[in-house]
Amino acid sequence: MKQTTQIGATLEKAISLALQKLGHSRDQVDVEVLQEGKKGFLGFGARPAEVRVTVKEVVQLKVNEETAEQPVIVEKQQQTATENLEDESNYINDDQPIHQELLAEVDPIEEAKKYLTSIVEPMGITDLSIEHTSDGKNVSFKLSSEKAALLIGKRGYTLNALQQVTQLMLNKTAKSFMILQMDVEDYRERRQVALEQLAERMADKATYTRKPVAFEPMASYERKIIHNALANRLDIETYSEGVEPNRYLVIEPIQ
């Protein structure tokens, strides 16, 4: 019996991810809801949806490795594009075999650039320019486009998703593991400065009100920026709560 358990921000999202993992359509499976999703308020009480999806009938499919196509993103709206990139991440993360003899013939960085270009074109970005630098296993992509805001997305969500799926593709062809850092017009540096300033304001608020202050859900590297920014303060402590992707940071005053 082919079965998977999957979590997602909503029931529909969890079911969609499970169907993609199993490679079956909705009418070919049975869905058992293990937990209803809940948005919560300001990050409190949020919880993901969880489902168990079982294939009704096992179907064996043989895939031609040399002709298998990579998935593409077809939605043009920014929010939908980000969700599709998350789905793409799950797809690429499967252990798809690649002929070893082909690895010596391709440049993983150039292949990653081509892949990134192909997945942003359906978003309406046709002028993407990519500059890269590399230092050992670390690779940096600097992106530029007239539609830079679309590449970044709300609070960097689209940029983070693009970085994730491109790194997965990079390591599909690289001989050893590589770490990709992607930026658009120095967005990450500007975002770090903004988060550090916000961290100080929220810490002051926590000490003034003598009550914990919770941030909205954010990526782990952004939570780390706030942790580091406040590490030397002796009047507060910081910690994270919740479950990804709804994990959030809390500043609590020390009584």
CATH code for position 161: 3.30.300.20
Instruction: Supply φ then ψ for residue 81, to 5 degrees.
Output: -60, -40
Has residue 120 got a pLDDT over 90? Answer: yes
Model pLDDT for residues 236-251, shown as the tens digit of each residue: 999 999 888 789 999 9
- pLDDT over 70 at 83, yes or no: no
Q: CB–CB of 71/88 below 8 Å? A: yes
Within a domain: residue 67?
no
Per-residue confidence at 64, pLDDT binned at 50, 70, 90? very low
CB contact at 8 A, 47 and 37: yes
Out of 159, 185, 211, a domain closes at: 185
Helices (H) and strands (E) counted in the chain, each on its own, are: 8, 9
CA quadruple 202, 156, 177, 135: dihedral positive or negative? Answer: negative
pLDDT at position 81: 58
In a domain, 51, yes or no: yes
Instruction: Give me the domain span that covers residue 44.
Output: 3-55
Q: Which amino acid is at 209?
A: T
* Cα 101 to Cα 85: distance, rounded to the nearest angstrom: 29
Question: What are residue 45's phi and psi, to 5 degrees?
Answer: 75, 5
* Chain segment 124-163, per-residue pLDDT in tens: 999 999 999 999 999 999 999 999 999 999 888 899 999 9
Q: What is the pLDDT of residues 165-224, one digit of tens each?
A: 999 999 988 889 999 999 999 999 999 999 999 999 999 999 999 999 999 998 888 999
Are residues 90 and 159 both part of a single domain?
yes
pTM above 0.85, yes or no: no
What's the CATH number where 205 sits? 3.30.1370.50
Would residue 64 count as lying in a domain? no
Residue 73 binned pLDDT confidence (cut-offs 50, 70, 90)? very low
| Domain end call among 145, 165, 185 | 185
- Residues 6 or more apart from 223 whose CB is under 8 A from it? 215, 240, 247, 248, 249
For the segment 46-71, the average pLDDT, to the nearest whole number, is 54
The pLDDT assigned to 41 comes to 47
Q: Is pLDDT larger for residue 93 or for residue 115?
A: 115
Q: What whole-number percentage of the chain has pLDDT above 90? A: 50
Instruction: Quick: pLDDT tens for 4-17.
Output: 888 877 878 878 88
CB 161 within 8 A of CB 119: no
Give the CA dihedral 51, 56, 58, 61, nearest 10 degrees.
Answer: -80
Same domain, 194 and 177: no
Name the one residue in this structure whose structure tokens are 């690779």.
139
Whether 55 has a pLDDT exceeding 90, the answer reads no
* Number of domain units in the chain: 3
Residues 152 and 227 in one domain: no
Cis peptide before 245 (omega within 30 of 0): yes
